[in-house]
Amino acid sequence: MISNIPTVIGNISAIYILMFGLFLILGLVLGYFTRQLLANQQVRSAQNEAKRLLSEATEKHEKMLFEAREEAVKVRAAAENESRQRRAELLRLERRFSQKEEKLDRKLEFVERRERELVNKEKGIDTVKAQLEEVRVKQLHELEFISGMSSDEAKERLLQTVENEIREEASRRVREYETKIKEEIEEKSRDVLATAIQRCATDVVSETTVSVVPLPNDEMKGRLIGREGRNIRALEQATGVDLIIDDTPEAVTISSFDPLRREIARVALTNLVLDGRIHPARIEEVVDKAKNEVEATVRTEGEKAAREATVQLHPELIKLLGRLKFRSSYGQNVLTHSLEVAHLSGMLAAEIGADIGLSKKAGLLHDIGKAVDHEVEGTHALIGANLARQWDKSKEVHQAIAEHHGEANTTSTIGFIVATADAISGSRLGARRESLEQYLKRIESLENVAHSFSGVEKAFAIQAGREVRILVKPEEIDDLGAMRLARDIVKKIQESLDYPGQIKVTVLRETRAVDYAK
């Protein structure tokens, strides 16, 4: 019994397996049919939906066709209406063109008729012109016979008369404008210059080319000369000056055109006289000390001038400025003159509203080139401009220094100010002096310039050459010609002569009627 149990269990397992297989097959069959059923339902739904969509599309298509037919009918009606309007407009324009064409034909006919009339009138005018030309030629011959002149001569005389009238009128107008402008400029410049000059008062210093050193007694002259002149030769060689020992009691004269060397020699000689020890070695030692002393004086004078002018300068410019203490021009001390120009430039700048600081600096340095003009080629104005350009960055200052004597065209305001201040300082009475020979040459040159013009009878330079009075021949020069002559003489003086200050030119024209009672 127990031995059959495994067989029974095996049978039961086979039954279960068989049943499971049947159920599986049955499930598969049922699933298949179920899927087929669902698929058929979906197909039917899709078919129904497709029919519905097709029906809707058909309705929309028919509706769109209907609307398109209606729209086409409307468009056709509008096009026909517009076509009718265009045809009507074309007909109207055609009628207008026809009317205008008729008018143009009428006008053309009128113009042709007028043209024929004008041609006839032109022929008549040509006939009249020919008759008038014959009359004019006949009258011209009669006038030439009566006047005794040809037509060309009469035309030339008429043109000359008109030219003279125009020249006289132009000269009169120019004279009126010049007088008016001159009065205004003189009034304004007089106020500015008078204010500046009134505010500035400086000493007038005259310099010479010699210095006199006093001696305690005449015995000192022999000691200065030394045995066989060795002391005087050593002193002259060390200082570069001429030592003049003559019969002047208790005095020795130092002569040199270089004021700096002359000052070194004066200081050295004064120290030698005070010390009493005079021999070549001592002379060289004292001259070296004098050079150092003069250099210190140069720096001191330069700093003093800069402080007095209230300007800031480079140390090299201060040193050059101090050397002007020992430089003279036309008998005027250059440093004193430079200070005066600086003050005047500042005052003029204040009067016209220019830069006061730059004007003072340019005025103080305007003659800085004279400190080295004997060592460097060129005019002192251009030398000074180059020196200032090395140690000063103000372009206006360089330009004003170069322009103050006319070496360059004066274009800057500060250049005009410095030139004006320089002229004021140099033209004051007693400020400068010149030799008699130079004075006579300048006077003679002024009179020669005046005599070089035709119509001048006499010319006189008066007031130390500051005015020229000219007598003209009245039969050759009229009143307006006298005005032009004065202007031409002034122009030639400015171009050909060098002179301080300004020169007044006066042209006098006098007509005298003389008769005798018998």
80, pLDDT greater than 80: yes
SS3 labels along 159-222: HHHHHHHHHHHHHHHHHHHHHHHHHHHHHHHHHHHHHHHHHCCCCCCECCCEEEEECCCCHHHH
Exposure string (b/e) for 236-264, b if CB count within 10 Å is 16 or more?
A: bebbebebebeeeeeebebebebbbbbbb
- Check residues 470 and 241 and name the one with the higher pLDDT: 470
In a domain, 514, yes or no: no
Chain segment 460-487, per-residue pLDDT in tens: 888 767 788 899 988 888 888 888 888 8
Q: What is the pLDDT of residue 205?
A: 43
Q: What is the pLDDT of residue 246?
A: 76
Q: What is the pLDDT of residue 265?
A: 85
Chain segment 226-237, per-residue pLDDT in tens: 888 888 888 888
* 270 and 412 inside one domain: yes
In a domain, 364, yes or no: yes
Q: What is the mean pLDDT of the chain?
A: 80
Q: How far is CA 479 from CA 216, 450, 486, 511, in A?
A: 70, 17, 11, 11
204, pLDDT greater than 60: no
* 299 and 359 inside one domain: yes
* 173 and 112 inside one domain: no
**325 near 333, Cβ under 8 Å?**
yes
CB atoms within 10 A of CB 298: 22
Where does a domain end: 145, 169, 184? 145
CB atoms within 10 A of CB 14: 10
Exposure string (b/e) for 112-123, b if CB count within 10 Å is 16 or more?
A: eeeeeeeeeeee
Give the separation between CA 281 and CA 37, rounded to whole angstroms: 149
* 75 and 222 inside one domain: no
Q: Count structural domains, the chain.
A: 4
User: What φ, ψ does residue 373 adopt, rounded to 5°?
Assistant: -65, -20
CB atoms within 10 A of CB 343: 23
Q: What is the pLDDT of residue 206?
A: 41
Q: Which of 11-25, 365-379, 466-480 has the highest mean pLDDT?
A: 466-480
Sign of CA dihedral 383, 384, 385, 389: positive
Q: Which domain holds residue 179?
A: 149-192
Q: What is the pLDDT of residue 203?
A: 47
CB atoms within 10 A of CB 216: 10
Percent of the chain with pLDDT over 70: 87
In a domain, 199, yes or no: no
In a domain, 197, yes or no: no
**Structure-token pair, residue 449:** 């310039």
**Structure-token pair, residue 185:** 């400029």
Q: Which residue has the tokens 């008369």?
A: 161
In a domain, 464, yes or no: yes
In this predicted structure, which of 9-13, 227-231, 361-365 has the lowest mean pLDDT? 9-13
* 253 and 338 inside one domain: yes
Closest to 325 measured CA to CA, from 227, 453, 205, 442: 205
Chain segment 87-114, per-residue pLDDT in tens: 888 888 888 888 888 888 888 888 888 8
* 380 and 477 inside one domain: no
Q: What is the CATH number of the domain that holds 386?
A: 1.10.3210
* 444 and 484 inside one domain: yes
In a domain, 468, yes or no: yes
The arithmetic mean of pLDDT across residues 292-304, rounded, is 86
Where does a domain end: 192, 222, 250? 192
Give the separation between CA 327 and CA 260, rounded to whole angstroms: 8
Label residue 207 by pLDDT band (50, 70, 90): very low
Label residue 194 by pLDDT band (50, 70, 90): low
* 235 and 327 inside one domain: yes
Closest to 484 measured CA to CA, from 460, 509, 447: 509
* 391 and 406 inside one domain: yes
Q: How far is CA 335 from CA 217, 303, 339, 383, in A?
A: 35, 12, 6, 17
Helix (H) or strand (E) holding 133: helix 5-147
* 277 and 309 inside one domain: yes
User: What φ, ψ does residue 278 adopt, rounded to 5°?
Assistant: -125, 105
- Provide the whole-model pTM: 0.47
In a domain, 515, yes or no: no
Chain segment 385-408, per-residue pLDDT in tens: 888 888 877 888 888 888 877 666
Q: What is the four-CA torsion angle of 95, 99, 102, 104, rounded to 10 degrees?
A: -120
In a domain, 104, yes or no: yes
Q: What is the pLDDT of residue 273?
A: 82
* 139 and 154 inside one domain: no
Q: What is the pLDDT of residue 427?
A: 64
289 Cβ contact list (under 8 Å, min separation 6) = 268, 271
* 308 and 382 inside one domain: yes
* Helical H segments across 366-478, by residue range: 380-391, 395-403, 413-427, 436-451
Q: What is the CATH number of the domain that holds 440?
A: 3.30.300.30
